[in-house]
């Protein structure tokens, strides 16, 4: 409907012209303004999280370049292919390229760590059920990674070539569990289920779990681990949302990585038939544990599991929140760089 012209009216001695549109809805205009403001806020916070992703990538490359030089200077006789060398590298890499970087990103969003990193009191039984339920998602992630490895054997071979050293003794296995399971469980949970998930939860728990899981998958840098890390991260994020604490997620993360170390230690000692049977038993065990966790969670609350996810209370649609997050320049650049890295390592 076209606005119509009204004659001049005097205001402080100066005439001005007004237009009136009978179809204009001030409430709709106000809602649009609120949506634009909410979208800008999501994009602004996504920019800081994306900057954290970029800084993490840059810091990781810097550590990978400087660490061999430092070891050569301080410990010239250390074998770079040894478990001991890898342990020292992890001890430097994780705090420098993940812990410190995402702490800075959290501070940049002007949110206190206590507001986003959850360590609330929770029911131990529910926490254990979340850990058990997570094994079903671990099975799904492992199945997806296995399918990709079978369809693209070159990807699997290239990833294996750049993977770390294998433990040869039980002592080396214990050391490997320390730096492959314990350190990442603490550092990565702080960064992704603490900072990233915590910052995004105000836009709905479901949105926060999926967005943080996608970023967590990408930082693993190859197409074997990316889908596995994504599905596992969904379970880790749900555990934090359901319990209000990082503790169940840290425990599940530790158990998953420790199991990976033990499996890598055992499998070379098995025949092909034993390896197949071992894999089938693993999948069956993961699924049984996951089913047990699911049943405990359902019986404890008598609700569907997603009912415990806090809904978004703002004015944006799911598509509006997703678009506002992924149009962030730093998120776009970081995703392109991480996908490019994955392509380089996988093919």
- What are 14's strand-pairing partners? 11
Q: In whole angstroms, how far apart are CA 4 and each of 18, 19, 32, 97?
A: 9, 6, 24, 61
Q: In which band, very low, low, confident or very high, does the pLDDT at 117 lie, cut at 50, 70 and 90? A: confident
Q: Which of 5-19, 103-117, 210-224 has the highest mean pLDDT?
A: 210-224
Contacts 24+ apart (CB under 8 A), 30-35: 31/315, 34/315, 35/315, 35/316, 35/320
Alpha-carbon span 82 to 172, nearest angstrom: 9
The pLDDT assigned to 189 comes to: 96
pLDDT in tens, 236-273: 999 999 999 999 999 999 999 999 999 989 988 888 89
**Domain boundary assignment for the chain:** 38-346
pLDDT in tens, 45-102: 999 999 999 999 999 889 889 988 988 888 888 888 888 899 998 888 888 889 989 9
Q: In which band, very low, low, confident or very high, does the pLDDT at 12 lie, cut at 50, 70 and 90? A: low
């Amino acid at each position: 409907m076209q606005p119509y012209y009204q004659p001049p009216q005097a205001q402080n001695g100066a005439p001005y012209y007004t237009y009136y549109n009978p179809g204009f809805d001030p409430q709709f205009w106000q809602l649009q303004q609120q949506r634009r403001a909410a979208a800008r806020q999501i994009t602004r916070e996504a920019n800081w999280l994306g900057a954290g992703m970029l800084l993490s990538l840059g810091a990781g490359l810097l550590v990978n370049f400087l660490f061999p030089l430092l070891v050569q200077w301080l410990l010239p006789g250390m074998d770079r292919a040894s478990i001991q060398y890898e342990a020292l590298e992890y001890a430097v890499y994780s705090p420098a390229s993940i812990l410190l970087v995402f702490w800075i990103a959290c501070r940049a969003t002007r949110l206190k760590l206590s507001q986003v990193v959850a360590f609330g009191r929770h029911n131990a039984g529910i926490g254990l059920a979340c850990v058990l339920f997570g094994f079903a998602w671990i099975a799904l992630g492992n199945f997806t990674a296995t399918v990709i490895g079978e369809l693209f054997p070159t990807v699997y071979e290239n990833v294996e070539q750049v993977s770390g050293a294998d433990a040869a003794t039980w002592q080396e296995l214990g050391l490997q569990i320390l730096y492959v399971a314990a350190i990442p469980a603490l550092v990565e949970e702080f960064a992704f289920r603490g900072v990233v998930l915590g910052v995004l939860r105000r836009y709905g728990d479901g949105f926060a779990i999926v967005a943080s899981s996608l970023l967590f998958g990408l930082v693993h840098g190859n197409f074997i681990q990316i889908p596995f890390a994504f599905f596992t991260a969904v379970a880790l994020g749900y555990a934090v949302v359901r319990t209000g604490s990082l503790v169940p997620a840290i425990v599940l993360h530790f158990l998953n990585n420790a199991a990976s170390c033990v499996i890598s230690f055992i499998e070379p000692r098995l025949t092909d038939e034993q390896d197949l049977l071992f894999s089938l038993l693993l999948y069956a065990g993961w699924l049984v544990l996951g089913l047990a966790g699911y049943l405990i969670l359902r019986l404890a609350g008598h609700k569907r599991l997603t009912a415990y996810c806090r809904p978004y209370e703002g004015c944006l649609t799911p598509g509006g929140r997703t678009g506002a997050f992924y149009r962030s320049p730093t998120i776009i650049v970081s995703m392109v760089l991480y996908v490019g890295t994955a392509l380089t390592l996988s093919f």
